[in-house]
């Protein structure tokens, strides 16, 4: 497998190495999230040199795939997640993605979005920004968008979202090196981000900030107590139960939980 | 809690409820509304140009491909073409592979004999283990090497979601989820993969329906059986000019029957042990994309063909050994194989099959791929014929020496379509549902249906058609 030609002239080229499935002793974890069928698995394959099955239909990836790559002397574990439209839905594949984003503590989450369907894709981006500020947005399928006469101003997007935004074509590895250097910056903490977060009413924010320390002391190490607090304020029975049974703590410990069954209510009651 | 002084979860929940009461009603709706406005605003600033011009071609294609009038016929046509290409293309390479591998078998056995190795070692290794492998490779490899690339092209093109779209109304009527069409399509590759693919279905009830009925579409392990039977028996009754068309047609018919069983059984489950209505869902129709040649070849040949072949060989080798042992361990003047198949014969007869076929199915429980090779090896282990060079000879062996009729071939196709899933799929059902009950139902329900249907067709054929 060879890189796309315009990458060979790129100075970053020599810094990159695909590590395939050998992910032992990695330094950082990067998650690939995004709506279904936006090319996460294609990007995963381009970065790791693995051959995770790709296909042109939403819902193809139902489990986490893990691989590794090296960039700038740092070893990364890359986790390809099933596509998801929101973090509140209940099907099992989406649960795999959501649990990892919420509890897996990735050093950086790359949200892959479809350049031709930006508006729909942005809902997930904003939801991910609610739970972590270590985010890079990869605007994929730029070639398809160009063919359709769609232009995406990634600078304007980056300004609005408060995180790095990189246009790429995963299929041909176009601009993937730029994506990697942004990812490296965010993962190491060198790049400071200021993610866009929708603020609720002052009373709401007060209520959230009252709950957060309580949740943190009850389930130590929970990476996003704010998200849990909001779910509790919404009266989400499934989250209440997960908290009461100690399953939230378990999730953090195992970074993934096939046995946690958030009920359908989470999708029905949850604010989309 | 590890620290008794820490606040208990119940306290937190109570506190949250108190805080909720203090908030104005509808506080979240405001947040959500502002989220939508925000997304709209950001998009407007960042995106120039409209999704219009080139999407039109996609939409024009979709208007035909997913139309009420042409959607289903086009799908059937495409299915028929794929099977026809598979059947026509696989025939000659299959026979060449069989000839080459059996030549190797004879040669190697000869060399072993010349070295003075004991007869049982030569027999066990070459006429047992190796012959099992040779059968699997020659019967399975060529059809898979043609079928999988064709299927992967359709998948990469973006056709699968259109299939789901076309079939949605049928699944809805059956009380099942429309995405079951997608998991069914995955089942054509491998039922275990199809069962895992049901994770895209978010309602547990509909997911179970999809899991329990996935087995009714033939996986690639069963396609070679169906293709061989269609080619050697059904098509042979027609003039050579249209034989391959008839063969493709009968495979399509069997697939349609499988889809019909999927729908009927889903319907029955939705009205009995898995009561409920079909839920609504959104399905994105992705743009058509040009499939990448290298990716197609890799996915279909390495991921699918070689993976499946490898698994088949791993199960075929021990099966070959078991068959050889059964054929060569003689108890009371008759081999074990003969004795067991004689014991199974009455049941087999009632199903329009025979004892050897049932024995083959029992040996092949680990993997459906090896049913036909197992069957042939048991027939041959009975000393009727030691070597098989072509499909014509196969026909001669089965029809003239073992009394096969059209009823045997048709019922074998039916049994192959409907019987219990392979061990891997049953284990996968258990892993996905974490329930012994559903895994058991997933194995026994299809088996019961297979018995019932073959009993019925055998009885009808004997009563009214004079078989």
Shortest CA gap B448–chain A (Å): 30
Shortest CA gap B44–chain A (Å): 9
User: CB contact, 8 Å: B114 with chain A?
Assistant: no
Shortest CA gap B237–chain A (Å): 40
Q: Do residues B222 and B416 lie in contact, with contact meaning Cβ atoms separated by under 8 Å?
A: yes
A113 plus A56 within the same structural domain: yes
3-state class of B331 per DSSP? strand
Range of the domain at A61: 5-188
Output the average pLDDT for chain A.
Answer: 79
Residue A160 and residue B45: Cβ atoms within 8 Å? Answer: yes
User: CB contact, 8 Å: B277 with chain A?
Assistant: no
A11 plus A38 within the same structural domain: yes
Shortest CA gap B130–chain A (Å): 31
What integer is the mean pLDDT of B211-229?
88
B45, B49, B303 ranked by CB distance to A149: nearest:
B49
A-interface mutation test, from B5, B154, B199, most A Cβ less than 10 A away: B199
d(CA B119, CA B125): 10
What integer is the mean pLDDT of B331-350?
90
B410 compared with B235, residue with greater pLDDT: B410
Q: In whole angstroms, what separates CA B458 from the centre of its chain? A: 24
- Whether residue B277 is predicted with pLDDT greater than 90 in this model: the reply is no
Residue A203 and residue B27: Cβ atoms within 8 Å? Answer: yes
What integer is the mean pLDDT of A181-199?
90
Write down the pLDDT at residue A268. Answer: 26
Residues with Cβ within 8 Å of residue B167, at least 6 apart in sequence = B178, B181, B184, B259
A16 compared with A270, residue with greater pLDDT: A16
3-state class of B228 per DSSP? helix
A141 plus A60 within the same structural domain: yes
Q: Specify if A194 maps to a domain.
A: no
Nearest alpha carbon to residue B364 among B355, B374, B356, B354: B374
pLDDT tens digit sequence for B5-14: 557 778 888 8
pLDDT tens digit sequence for B407-451: 999 999 999 999 989 888 898 899 888 899 999 999 999 999 999
Q: Specify if A50 maps to a domain.
A: yes
In terms of average pLDDT, the best of A49-53, A185-189, B419-423 is A185-189
Write down the pLDDT at residue A6. Answer: 52
User: CB contact, 8 Å: A57 with chain B?
Assistant: yes
pTM: 0.77
Residue A118 and residue B43: Cβ atoms within 8 Å? Answer: yes
A98 plus A161 within the same structural domain: yes
Domain stop point among A135, A162, A188:
A188
Q: In Å, how far are A41, B261, B301 from B294, measured between CA atoms?
A: 16, 36, 10
Residues with Cβ within 8 Å of residue B393, at least 6 apart in sequence = B385
H or E segment to which residue B182 belongs: helix B180-189
Binned at pLDDT 50, 70 and 90, residue A118 comes out as very high
Place of tokens 């030569």: B122
Q: Specify if A168 maps to a domain.
A: yes
- Whether residue B316 is predicted with pLDDT greater than 90 in this model: the reply is no
Residue B46 and residue A118: Cβ atoms within 8 Å? Answer: yes
Binned at pLDDT 50, 70 and 90, residue A262 comes out as very low
Nearest alpha carbon to residue A121 among B88, B46, B132: B46
B-interface mutation test, from A40, A57, A88, most B Cβ less than 10 A away: A57
A107 plus A36 within the same structural domain: yes
pLDDT tens digit sequence for B90-147: 888 888 888 898 899 889 999 999 998 888 888 888 887 888 788 778 877 888 888 8
d(CA A162, CA A32): 19
In terms of average pLDDT, the best of A239-248, A255-264, B291-300 is B291-300
Domain stop point among A188, A217, A250:
A188
A212 plus A180 within the same structural domain: no
d(CA A54, CA A60): 7
A65 plus A134 within the same structural domain: yes
Domain stop point among A188, A221, A242:
A188
Q: At residue A136, what are phi and psi to the nearest 5 degrees?
A: -125, 135
Shortest CA gap B283–chain A (Å): 8
Residue B161 and residue A58: Cβ atoms within 8 Å? Answer: yes
Write down the pLDDT at residue A272. Answer: 20
User: CB contact, 8 Å: A263 with chain B?
Assistant: no
User: CB contact, 8 Å: B53 with chain A?
Assistant: yes
Residue B287 and residue A116: Cβ atoms within 8 Å? Answer: yes
Strand partners, A167: A139
User: CB contact, 8 Å: B297 with chain A?
Assistant: no
Q: Specify if A195 maps to a domain.
A: no
A91, A152, A243 ranked by CB distance to B199: nearest:
A91
A100 compared with A89, residue with greater pLDDT: A100
d(CA A84, CA B202): 12
A182 plus A221 within the same structural domain: no
What integer is the mean pLDDT of A216-241?
78
Q: Specify if A193 maps to a domain.
A: no
Q: Specify if A197 maps to a domain.
A: no
Domain with residue A41: its CATH number is 3.40.50.300
Place of tokens 């996905």: B432
A179 plus A206 within the same structural domain: no
Write down the pLDDT at residue A2. Answer: 44
Binned at pLDDT 50, 70 and 90, residue B278 comes out as confident
In terms of average pLDDT, the best of A79-88, A109-118, A240-249, B329-338 is A109-118
d(CA A174, CA A6): 8
- Whether residue A55 is predicted with pLDDT greater than 80 in this model: the reply is no
B394 compared with A205, residue with greater pLDDT: A205
- Whether residue B385 is predicted with pLDDT greater than 70 in this model: the reply is no
Q: Which residues of B387-417 are buried (b: 16+ CB within 10 A; e: fewer)?
A: ebeebeebeebbbeeeebebbbbbbbbbbbb
Q: Do residues A46 and B184 lie in contact, with contact meaning Cβ atoms separated by under 8 Å?
A: no
Residue A51 and residue B298: Cβ atoms within 8 Å? Answer: yes
Q: Rg of chain B's alpha carbons, rounded to an integer?
A: 27
- Whether residue A207 is predicted with pLDDT greater than 90 in this model: the reply is no
User: CB contact, 8 Å: B30 with chain A?
Assistant: yes
A97 plus A225 within the same structural domain: no
d(CA B15, CA B220): 57
Write down the pLDDT at residue A88. Answer: 72
Shortest CA gap A250–chain B (Å): 12
Q: Do residues B173 and B410 lie in contact, with contact meaning Cβ atoms separated by under 8 Å?
A: no
Nearest alpha carbon to residue A62 among A86, A48, A77, A80: A80
pLDDT tens digit sequence for B31-60: 777 778 888 999 999 998 765 555 678 888
Q: In whole angstroms, what separates CA B311 from the centre of its chain? A: 14
d(CA B221, CA B422): 9
Question: How many structural domains are present in chain A?
Answer: 2
Residue B160 and residue A56: Cβ atoms within 8 Å? Answer: yes
- Whether residue A269 is predicted with pLDDT greater than 60 in this model: the reply is no
Residue B299 and residue A53: Cβ atoms within 8 Å? Answer: yes
Output the average pLDDT for chain B.
Answer: 85
Write down the pLDDT at residue B55. Answer: 63
Nearest alpha carbon to residue B337 among B362, B317, B313: B362
What integer is the mean pLDDT of A142-166?
93
Using CA coordinates, name the residue in chain B closest to A266: B202
User: CB contact, 8 Å: A203 with chain B?
Assistant: yes
Shortest CA gap B49–chain A (Å): 5
Write down the pLDDT at residue A234. Answer: 77
B23, B35, B288 ranked by CB distance to A126: nearest:
B35
User: CB contact, 8 Å: A114 with chain B?
Assistant: no
Q: Do residues B265 and B449 lie in contact, with contact meaning Cβ atoms separated by under 8 Å?
A: yes
Write down the pLDDT at residue A181. Answer: 94
Q: Specify if A244 maps to a domain.
A: yes
From A65-69, A89-93, A163-167, B406-410, the region with the lowest mean pLDDT:
A89-93
Residue B286 and residue A271: Cβ atoms within 8 Å? Answer: no
In three-state form (DSSP H/G/I as H, E/B as E, the rest C), the secondary structure along chain A is CCCCHHHHCCHHHHHEEEEECCCCCCCEEEEEEECCCCCHHHHHHHHHCCCCCCCCCCCCCCCCEEEEEEECCEEEEEEECCCCCCCCCCCHHHHHHHHHHHHCCCCEEEEEEEHHHHHHHHHHHHHHHHHCCCEEEEEECHHHHHHCCCEECHHHHHHHHCCCEEECEHHHCECHHHHHHHHHHHHHCCCCCCCCCCCCCHHHHHHHHHHHHHHHHHCCCCCCHHHHHHHHHCCCHHHHHHHHCCHHHHHHHHCCCCCCCCCCHHHHHCCC
A180 plus A214 within the same structural domain: no
Residue A218 and residue B12: Cβ atoms within 8 Å? Answer: yes
Q: Specify if A196 maps to a domain.
A: no
Q: Rg of chain A's alpha carbons, rounded to an integer?
A: 18
Write down the pLDDT at residue A62. Answer: 73
A81 plus A143 within the same structural domain: yes
């Amino acid at each position: 497998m060879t890189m796309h030609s315009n990458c060979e002239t790129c100075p970053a080229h020599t810094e990159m190495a695909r590590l395939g499935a050998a992910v032992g002793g990695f330094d950082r974890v990067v998650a690939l999230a995004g709506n279904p069928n936006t090319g996460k698995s294609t990007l995963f394959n381009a970065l790791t040199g693995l051959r995770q099955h790709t296909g042109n239909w939403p819902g193809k990836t139902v489990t986490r795939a893990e691989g590794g790559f090296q960039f700038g002397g740092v070893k990364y574990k890359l986790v390809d997640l099933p596509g998801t439209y929101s973090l509140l839905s209940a099907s099992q594949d989406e649960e795999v993605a959501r649990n990892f984003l919420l509890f897996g503590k990735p050093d950086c989450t790359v949200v892959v979005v479809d350049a031709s369907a930006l508006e729909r894709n942005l809902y997930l981006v904003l939801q991910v920004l609610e739970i972590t500020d270590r985010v890079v947005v990869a605007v994929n399928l730029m070639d398809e968008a160009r063919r359709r006469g769609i232009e995406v101003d990634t600078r304007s997007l980056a300004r609005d979202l408060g995180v790095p935004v990189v246009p790429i074509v995963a299929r041909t590895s176009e601009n993937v090196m730029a994506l990697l250097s942004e990812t490296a910056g965010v993962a190491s903490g060198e790049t400071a981000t200021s993610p866009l977060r929708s603020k609720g009413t002052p009373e709401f924010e007060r209520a959230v900030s009252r709950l957060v320390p309580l949740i943190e002391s009850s389930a130590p190490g929970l990476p996003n107590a704010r998200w849990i607090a909001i779910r509790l304020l919404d009266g989400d029975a499934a989250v209440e139960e997960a908290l009461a049974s100690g399953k939230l703590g378990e999730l953090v410990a195992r970074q993934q939980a096939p046995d946690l069954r958030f009920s359908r209510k989470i999708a029905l009651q949850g604010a989309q | 809690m590890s620290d008794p002084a820490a606040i208990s979860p119940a306290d937190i929940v109570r506190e949250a409820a108190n805080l909720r009461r203090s908030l104005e009603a509808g506080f979240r709706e405001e947040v959500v509304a502002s989220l939508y406005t925000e997304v709209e605003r950001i998009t407007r600033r960042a995106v120039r140009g409209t999704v219009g011009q080139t999407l039109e071609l996609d939409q024009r294609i979709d208007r035909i491909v997913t139309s009420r009038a042409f959607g289903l016929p086009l799908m059937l046509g495409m299915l028929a073409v794929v099977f026809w290409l598979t059947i026509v293309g696989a025939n000659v390479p299959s026979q060449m592979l069989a000839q080459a591998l059996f030549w190797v078998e004879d040669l190697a056995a000869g060399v072993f004999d010349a070295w003075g190795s004991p007869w049982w070692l030569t027999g066990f290794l070459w006429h047992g283990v190796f012959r099992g492998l040779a059968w699997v490779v020659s019967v399975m490899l060529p059809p898979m090497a043609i079928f999988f690339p064709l299927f992967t092209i359709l998948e990469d093109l973006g056709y699968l979601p259109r299939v789901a779209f076309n079939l949605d109304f049928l699944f809805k009527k059956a009380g099942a989820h429309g995405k079951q069409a997608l998991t069914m399509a995955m089942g054509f590759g491998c039922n275990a993969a199809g069962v895992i693919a049901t994770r895209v279905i978010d309602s547990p009830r509909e997911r179970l329906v999809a899991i329990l009925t996935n087995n009714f579409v033939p996986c690639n392990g069963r396609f070679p059986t169906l293709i061989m039977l269609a080619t050697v028996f059904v098509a042979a009754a027609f003039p050579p000019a249209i034989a391959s068309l008839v063969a493709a047609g009968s495979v399509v018919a069997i697939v349609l029957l499988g889809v019909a069983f999927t729908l009927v059984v889903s319907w029955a489950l939705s009205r009995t042990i898995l009561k409920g209505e079909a839920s609504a869902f959104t399905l994105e129709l992705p743009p058509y994309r040009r499939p990448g040649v290298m990716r197609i070849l890799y996915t279909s040949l390495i991921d699918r063909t070689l993976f499946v072949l490898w698994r088949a060989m791993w199960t075929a080798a021990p099966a070959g050994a078991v068959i050889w042992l059964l054929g060569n361990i003689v108890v009371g003047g008759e081999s074990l194989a003969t004795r067991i198949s004689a014991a199974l014969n009455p049941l087999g007869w009632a199903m329009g099959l025979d004892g050897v076929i049932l024995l083959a199915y029992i040996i092949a429980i680990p993997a459906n791929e090896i049913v036909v090779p197992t069957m042939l090896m048991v027939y041959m282990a009975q000393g009727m014929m030691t070597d098989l060079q072509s499909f014509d000879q196969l026909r001669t062996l089965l029809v003239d020496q073992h009394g096969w009729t059209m009823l045997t071939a048709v019922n074998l196709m039916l049994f192959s379509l409907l019987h219990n899933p392979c061990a891997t799929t049953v284990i996968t059902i258990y892993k996905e549902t974490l329930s012994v009950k559903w895994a058991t139902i997933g194995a026994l329900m299809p088996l019961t249906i297979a018995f019932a249907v073959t009993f019925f067709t055998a009885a009808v054929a004997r009563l009214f058609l004079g078989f």
